[in-house]
Amino acid sequence: MSSNPNSESITQTLYPGISPAAAADIAELKTRIKGFQTGTEDEERFKHYRLTRGVYGQRQFGVHMFRTKIPYGKLTADQLIRLADTSEKYTPGNLHITTRQNIQFHYVKLTDSPKVWEALADAGVTAREACGNTVRNITASATAGIDPAEPFDVSPYVQAMFEYFLRNPICQEMGRKIKIAFSSSEDDSAFTYFHDFGFIPRLKIENGETLRGFKLVIAGGLGAVGQVAQTVSEFIPEEEIIPFTEAAIRVFDRYGEREKRMKARMKFLLKKLGKEEFLRLVAAERKAVRQQTVWVKHADFTQPRPAEYKFAPANTPVDAAAYVLWRSTNVFEQKQENWFAVNVLIPLGDIDADRARRLAALVKEYAADDIRLTIGQGLVLKFIREEHLPHIFNELTALGFALPGANSTADITSCPGTDTCALGVTNSTGLATKLSEVVRDEYPALVGDTGIKIKISGCMNGCGQHTAANIGFHGSSIKKGALVLPAMQVVLGGGVDTDGQGFIAEKVIKLPTKRIPAALRLLLDDYAANAEENEYFNAFYYRLGKRYFYDLLKPLADTDTLTDLFDWGQDAAYRREIGVGECAGVSLDIIGTILNDAKEKLQLADEALAHSAWSDGIYHAYAAYVIGAKALLLAADVRCNSQVKMLADFQTNYIDAGEFAFAGDFKTAVLQINKHEPTEDFAKEYINKSKEFFGKVIEKREKQLHLAGQDKEVVSQYYNA
């Protein structure tokens, strides 16, 4: 951890709006970049670090993707302007909206990343824990606060949870990421069903009092092995959602898989332990959390004031017919009487800097200063007067953002694919553009239909959330003789039905990517011809079955008659180039460096004590215990696939073997962390014992080095534990 006072003071002088915590983050990033560039820090270790600071490797050599962390997608107009200005200064000038309600920049130079962070932090936007094995951006329904169907606004709860886990020591170096979502109503428009933690607001009458709470679901996921989240509680009181989540993340951190990364998500841990045992461990962990109850001051969280009234320059739409369609598909009345919200469809989620600034100016004039990014890569503008809607339409038309059909079949979600992502197999953006044209030109009735959603990912990892689509596609490849051709895996039957029930799409067939428009036509035509009256697409799919649709699409899989071998948006022969995902990279490290990590954790524990942060100090000391034990286990070639197993293995391989002196059972001693409330006395005692253990670890390692004559390298998949 960097403590460079000069870097921090310079940052705060240039940008007075930066908080001390953000200034320290930026100063540390500068120091670590310098260490990497001068060769004092290993490349792979630096990679693991920078990911948690939002800096992600890109397909193109020498540049990076910079990801922000914007809880529930809430931006002010000034923040959007700052994002636009920053993108123009340090990138080609494009803002990309993701399915996680973030903004991403592409083509950022590594040395410019601290400058990007400084500019954004000054406007209240962070990149901390935007990537890496952390609690990622917490998403929510973009209509939260104005949804006519919501029992209450979930926004303050999302904000409180975001603040609680930001920089929280329990979620900085987990085995994998954690994703959390809040829906505004039972419609589950935030797709809680495929998240590690999902919350749906509910009200309960008890003794004549109306209580707030949430339906809680856990351990959902997409990716190669999708899983619908399991219900933990039909009603968990509002004050318990943060303590429960902290306790559950502690269990995930301790028991979760770390060696086999494809098995390291929450969904696999729940399957391994079973829900009953998992919840027992969570209950046992509750004693150790920071606070037993966390009350969110939702009464202090008020809706933003609408813009001051002014006459619009024009009240006649530039295209009367287009306006009627746009209003019917993109505008809805809020729960606040006589106020309207506008869904802005952003093709591919891309906004250039100039249009972003012009959009921000429009918001300042005619909407509330509360822009919401959507999981469908669009925007929601709120608190608009009905008489101003024609002017809003005219301005959006001038910007190229007045396309009708937001959240409809024509509004296709797509990750960047091979445009920038190293993991991309095929060009998802080019295909998304083509499919949108097919829907708009050939199936105009579907422009207002929200019952069929199309989503595309450039690989199987699911950034485009393809398995949460009624009709989804993910990048792949097929053979035509000696040639490798771009292809898409077709998946059907995902998404949320009209009752709020979530589905994970099923793989049906792999087709050449240039045949996908024909496949979409077949699917839509067959649905129109054979669906029962008012039958939802997923009900239609599951009624007829996977084999039916395989047979329907099978003729398109024939490559003998395929003449167009290029990928969408490409003018050269297809080359299957798949990079290594940064979260799954393998690195080399040395035991001595790992021990330095333990030393750093103890320093952080002392800092936490100095600030009376007892729970944080205890967790840092726990991490020092684990890292110290891990270092010696790796020195003895013992695999380290979970923290709890490591504690037992250290007892077996060192203490029981007479190689290390320790009074009592090591695992029991370390896990005192969840047997006590985080008081000052226990924090001091636990930290001191961790320091004593670490001192003995250093002594043992020095003896090992004396015998070996040199330090030892280990692969990072073991080190991750």
Spell out the domains of the chain, with CATH numbers in brackets. 5-70+90-121 (no CATH), 147-300 (3.30.413.10), 320-399 (3.30.70.3340), 421-562 (3.30.413.10), 586-719 (1.20.120.330)
| pLDDT greater than 70 at residue 568 | yes
pLDDT greater than 70 at residue 575: no
Q: In this predicted model, what pLDDT tens digit does every residue of 455-473 receive, in sequence order? A: 999 888 889 999 999 999 9
pLDDT(4) > 50: no
- Which position has the higher pLDDT, 264 or 11? 264
The closest of 478, 350, 483, 510 to 415, measured between CA atoms, is: 350
Question: What crossing angle do the helices spanning 77-90 and 113-121 adopt, rounded to 10°?
Answer: 160
How far is the C-alpha of 585 from the C-alpha of 583, rounded, in Å? 6
Q: Is the pLDDT of residue 7 over 50?
A: no
Q: Kindly tell me if the per-residue pLDDT of 252 is higher than 70.
A: yes
Q: Distance between CA atoms of 717 and 721, rounded to whole angstroms? A: 8
**Which of the given ranges, 3-7, 254-258, 398-402, has the highest pLDDT on average?**
398-402
Between the ranges 311-315, 451-455, 459-463, 708-712, where is the mean pLDDT highest? 451-455
Beta-carbon contacts of residue 263 (< 8 Å; ≥ 6 apart): 257
Condensed to tens digits (0 to 9), the pLDDT of residues 494-532 reads 999 988 999 999 999 999 999 999 999 999 999 999 999
Q: How far apart are CA 191 and CA 505, in angstroms?
A: 13
pLDDT for residue 193:
97
What CA–CA distance (Å, rounded) separates 349 from 344?
10
**pLDDT value at position 594?**
85
Q: What is the pLDDT of residue 10?
A: 44
For residue 711, what pLDDT band results from cuts at 50, 70 and 90?
A: low
**Whole-number Å distance between alpha carbons of 24 and 637:** 37
For the segment 261-280, the average pLDDT, to the nearest whole number, is 94
Q: How confident is the model at residue 576 (pLDDT cuts 50, 70, 90)?
A: low
Q: Contact, 391 vs 404, CB < 8 A?
A: no
Whether the per-residue pLDDT at 5 is higher than 60: the answer is no
pLDDT of residue 2: 38
Taking only the tens place, the pLDDT of each residue in 624-674 is 999 999 999 999 999 888 999 999 999 999 999 999 999 999 999 999 999
**In this structure, is the dihedral angle defined by the CA atoms of residues 219, 222, 224 and 230, taken in order, positive or negative?**
positive
pLDDT-derived band at 30 (thresholds 50, 70, 90) equals very high
Strands (E) in 371-526, as ranges, are: 371-373, 379-384, 413-414, 454-457, 471-480, 483-492, 495-496, 502-503, 506-512
Contact 197, 216 (CB under 8 A): yes
Beta strands in 303-377 (DSSP E): 331-333, 340-344, 350-352, 371-373
Q: Taking residues 190-201, what's their average pLDDT?
A: 98
Query: What does DSSP assign to residue 515?
Result: G
Q: How confident is the model at residue 720 (pLDDT cuts 50, 70, 90)?
A: very low
What is the Rg, in whole angstroms, of the alpha carbon atoms belonging to the chain? 26
Average pLDDT estimate for 407-422 = 90
Q: Residue 412 and residue 455: Cα distance in Å, rounded? A: 6
The pLDDT score that the predictor gives to residue 718 is: 41
- Which residues make Cβ contacts (< 8 Å) with residue 595, sequence separation at least 6? 627, 628, 631, 697, 698, 701
Predicted TM-score (pTM) of the model is 0.92
Residues 6+ apart with CB under 8 A from 667: 644, 647, 648, 650, 651
Q: How confident is the model at residue 578 (pLDDT cuts 50, 70, 90)?
A: low
d(CA 375, CA 346) in angstroms, rounded, equals 12
pLDDT above 60 for 97: yes
The dihedral formed by the CA atoms of 285, 287, 291 and 294, expressed in degrees to the nearest 10: 70
Q: What is the pLDDT of residue 586?
A: 36
Characterize 259-279 residue by residue with b for buried, 16 or more Cβ atoms within 10 angstroms of its Cβ, and e for exposed: bebebbbbbbbbeeeeeeebb
The count of residues in the chain is: 721
For residue 714, the model assigns a pLDDT of: 57
Residue 208 has pLDDT above 60, yes or no: yes
Question: Given this model, what pLDDT does residue 588 score?
Answer: 41
Q: What is the 3-state secondary structure (H, E, C) of 251-298?
A: HHHHHCCCCCHHHCCHHHHHHHHCHHHHHHHHHHHHHHCCCCCCCCCH
Q: How far is CA 176 from the centre of its chain?
A: 11
Q: What is the pLDDT of residue 712?
A: 58
Asked if 697 and 628 count as a contact pair (C-beta separation under 8 A), the reply is: yes
pLDDT at position 574, please? 63
**Which 8-state DSSP code applies to residue 350?**
E
- Per-residue burial over 652-677, b if 16 or more Cβ lie within 10 Å, else e, is ebbbeeeebeeeeebbebbbebbeee
Long-range Cβ pairs for the range 572-576 (8 Å, 24+): 574/477, 574/484, 574/485, 574/486, 576/425, 576/477, 576/484, 576/486
Between CA 8 and CA 21 the distance in angstroms is 10
What gap in Å lies between CA 383 and CA 392, rounded to an integer? 12
Looking at beta carbons, which pairs linking 642-645 to residues 24 or more positions away fall under 8 Å?
642/175, 642/254, 642/255, 642/256, 642/257, 642/258, 642/721, 643/253, 643/254, 643/255, 643/258, 643/721, 644/254, 644/255
The DSSP symbol for 69 reads B
